[in-house]
Amino acid sequence: MFRVRRQIGAGVWKAGEADPVVAVLDTGVVEHPDLQGRIVAFQDFLENRSRIYDNSGHGTHVCGIIGGNGFLSAGRYRGMAPTVKLVVGKVLDQKGDGTVDAMIEGIDWVVANQRDWNIRILNISVGIGRLMNEEKEAMLKRKLEQAWKRGLLVVCAAGNNGPACNTLSTIGKSRLLITVGCHDGEYFKDSDRRCASYSSKGDRFATGKKPDIVAPGTEIISCNGGVSKGFGGYRNAYISKSGTSMATPIVSGALALLLQKHPEYDNETAKRKLLDTATDLGEPWYQQGWGMVNVKRLLEG
């Protein structure tokens, strides 16, 4: 995250006027010290457990990218918006698998509490495991678009099915939702693990730009769901993960910073500001969309 913040112009952070709440539907979250006191609510849609948990670590990593404060790393691995609050729904299991029913329950839960908890952003990093078939994915797309029309900024992963064209999921093709692809700029350009090589791509013949935007996603160091406290302090506090699932919360965190500064923005205004301020990487639309997220430009004005 230290590298990412410098790369996308998010090196200097200032508290805004308001702290929006970001909802994360994923594998859950643990009470990581970097997230302490900022998990507003947790709901388990798989096993109905009451305690906060994450038996995968994926959700905790995503939450750390969005809003970890870097407490255990003296700020080095701080997330994008370190005072943001989080609402977390567990809809995926330890393998990253889930059901459309659990996802829809999670979306309904977020929408039902949207105003009471000031939820402004919904992060969907479901680019892991096998979640649903095409018909069920279409159902989920409709549900997420309804959430968008209720005023939520829905940010979803493009998926890891590239490099071929037209490999976006049905959700990722939605014209309403913000679809995030993965690109590392000049970093990892000679590595076969570079996320741009497998990030899902849009349709090269389409007139619209999809994915909407890209963000770094290779070897992102963030909060580890397996953190433990032992003699002498905490162990295994951070872990590296890669994929569009990591790029997506970078964009969600950037939008949280924007809404801190401009709480009056609706989701359409925030989306347009995000896309208009992106850095053009000089690549085809179906690969980069509008370009790389640029936080410095996003927060100007």
Catalytic residues: 26, 58, 245
Report the C-alpha gap between 194 and 58 in whole angstroms: 19
Report the C-alpha gap between 194 and 47 in whole angstroms: 35
Beta carbons within 8 Å of 43's beta carbon, 6+ residues apart? 88, 89, 90, 106, 109
Q: How many other CB atoms are found less than 10 A from the CB of residue 236?
A: 11
* Residue 59 φ then ψ, to 5°: -65, -40
Q: Which of 27, 30, 24 is nearest to 81 (CA)?
A: 24
Strands 119-124 and 153-157: parallel
Burial of 260 (0-12, 13-18, 19+ CB in 10 A): buried
Report the C-alpha gap between 177 and 75 in whole angstroms: 31
